[in-house]
Structure 1
Amino acid sequence: MSYAIALVRSILFWIAFVLMSSICSIGAVVTLPISHHATRGFVRAWAKFHRLICRFILGHRVIVEGAMPDIPVLYVFKHEGAFETIEQPMLFKWPAVFAKEQLFSIPVWGQAARFYGLIPVDRDGGGKAMRAMLNAAKAALAIGRPLVLFAEGTRVPHGKAPPLRSGFAGIYRMLGVPVIPVAVNSGIAYPPHRWVKWPGTITYRIGETIPAGLPREEAEERVWRAINALNPPEALLEKPAE
């Protein structure tokens, strides 16, 4: 596909996405006093609409290799683009996603995110912020919600395999739940930090469940290799230093 066609498709995609995001964010906030289910319904509709416009405007095809059970465990996703973050309310019934604190300051969207039950991550907040984050995570697990963590901490271009952020080890140790790693190659068609998107196939590959209680080095190594399973083989020849 030529760049001109991809540009036109991307413009149409962003117009549709911004409009629907505004409608769903406002709807999620307005309906909260009436029904929490309605709020979650708006969030799920937002994720479904995003999948539809990715399919019919951008030309994306989504493949899931393996099963993602909707159970109270810690999911760790490869983070190549905004695609997989937006998809979470559709992949799971009511996921508790760890999200940067700054995102909650976005007008309306931030309010909807708090009401929905996303978990703020304040890297500069010290011990108090860490305790609040862990308490929120434990509360979500207690009512059966899966936790979702993007352990690289930021969007990573396809083919890159940076080490996991140190926060993963603390969350893994203190929550004491199994980890299900998920590789994603969204960066090919939905590249990070670029608003022009391309047609293509986006794959989720679910890795082997990693039990709780492993030594830090072993847990990090297994998660790192699993979430990078869709990268070119040379990306996994040597794990970069943290």
Structure 2
Amino acid sequence: MSLLRTLIFTSIFYLGSAIIVIVAVLLLPFGEKTAIRSGLVWARFHYWCARMFLGIRTRIEGNLATVPTLYACKHESMYETAEVLRLFIDPVVVFKRELLTIPGWGWVAKKHGVIPIDREAGAGAVRALLTAAKKVRAEGRNVVIFPEGTRVPHGESPPLKAGFAGLYKALGLPVIPIAMDSGRVWPRGGFVKRSGTVTFRFGEPIPPGLPRDEIEARVHAAINALND
């Protein structure tokens, strides 16, 4: 049954996503707000498909911020990459630069507002990250980063990537860590998804200006709060 539900979800979600992206590309001349709206439509469509065909729902524990914030999110599946667009207001997401090369989708993402990072470019990547961060700060938007850098199996807790501390310092924003357990129902590297509830646990805000060792330790502990 899980396999059948996954096949139905995959067929409908990716077909619908293709249509949304095509429409979003056609609307690019209308500016950033239209791209942001397209992203929200896609995220809501993703959640509807996940709920209807996979039986996956989202549960929120804790509170979202009321001021511009850096959200540091655990990353176990694709599920949360779509959910952050639905849950937050006009978020700017930090992700791999190579994703911007995807035809259509990458164009919309650029217009939406992203902070791309190239993990192979060394110091140049860090400078580009900080430049983009300053622009975002001036716009007063929320920022979402997956500080572990990539999806990890549920229960694992790798160290945070160096880019997180640099972004935290450049933005000068409070941090809210987010623990989650999406890997229980949407395992990394697995095709078949299972029904269940994904918990997003929002931790207490952490103030800006802390030393690197302290901020990394506090965020690392908080985002892994739902590990087995």
For normalisation by structure 2, the TM-score amounts to 0.95
Q: Determine the structure 2 residue equivalent to 1:64.
A: 60
Any conservation in 1 of the 2:130–2:166 contact (CA below 8 Å)? no
Q: Tell me by how many angstroms 1:25 deviates.
A: 1.3
Contact 1:65-1:203 within 8 A present in 2 as well: yes
Deviation at 1:70, TM superposition (A): 5.3
Structure 2 gaps, min length 5: none
Amino acid at match of 1:9: R
Structure 1 residue 23 and structure 2 residue 19: aligned?
yes
**Structure 2 contact 134–170 (Cα < 8 Å) conserved:** no
Residue aligning to 1:202: 198
What is the aligned partner in structure 1 of residue 28 from structure 2?
A: 32
Identity of aligned residues (%): 48
| 1:200–1:98 distance in 2 versus 1, CA, 3 Å | same
Query: Where in structure 1 do 4 or more consecutive aligned residues deviate above 6 Å?
Result: none
Q: Deviations over 1:35-80 (max 9, x none)?
A: 4333222211110011011111000121000111253221100001
Secondary structure class of the residue paired with 2:207: coil
1:178 aligns with 2:174: yes
Query: 3-state DSSP class of the match of 2:76?
Result: coil
CA contact (8 A) 1:70 1:92 kept: no
Counterpart-to-counterpart distance in 1, 2:224 and 2:170: 24
- Cα distance in structure 2, aligned partners of 1:175 and 1:126: 20
Alpha carbons 1:189, 1:198 under 8 Å: kept = yes
Q: From 75, 78, 87, give the equivalent of 1:79.
A: 75
Q: Secondary structure at the match of 2:8?
A: helix
Aligned runs of 1:1-242 on 2, under 5 Å? 5-69=1-65, 71-232=67-228
Deviation at 1:156, TM superposition (A): 0.7
Secondary structure in structure 2 of the residue aligned to 1:198: coil
- What is the TM-score when the length of structure 1 is the normalising length? 0.90
Structure 2 counterpart of 1:147, one-letter code:
V
Instruction: Give the CA RMSD over aligned residues.
Output: 1.3
Maintained 8 Å contact 1:182/1:204: yes
| Counterpart code for 2:59 | I
Question: Which residue is 1:240 aligned to?
Answer: none
1:103 CA drift (Å)? 0.7
**Per-residue displacement from partner, 1:83-124 (whole Å, max 9, x unpaired)?**
101112111121000010111111111111111111111112
Q: Distance in 2 between matches of 1:14 and 1:154?
A: 22
Amino acid at match of 1:67: N
Q: Distance in 2 between matches of 1:166 and 1:37?
A: 31
Q: Deviations over 1:160-211 (max 9, x none)?
A: 1111112212222232221110001100011112221000110000011111
Structure 2 distance, partners of 1:92, 1:192, is 24
Q: Is the 8 A contact 1:70 1:93 kept in 2?
A: no
CA distance in 2, matches of 1:69, 1:27: 31
Instruction: Give the letter for the 1:211 counterpart.
Output: P
Instruction: Please say if residues 119 and 136 of structure 1, whose CA atoms lie closer than 8 Å, have aligned partners that are also in contact.
Output: yes
- For the residue of structure 1 that corresponds to 2:110, the secondary structure is helix
In the other structure, the counterpart of 1:237 is none
Q: Give the partner amino acid of 2:61.
A: E
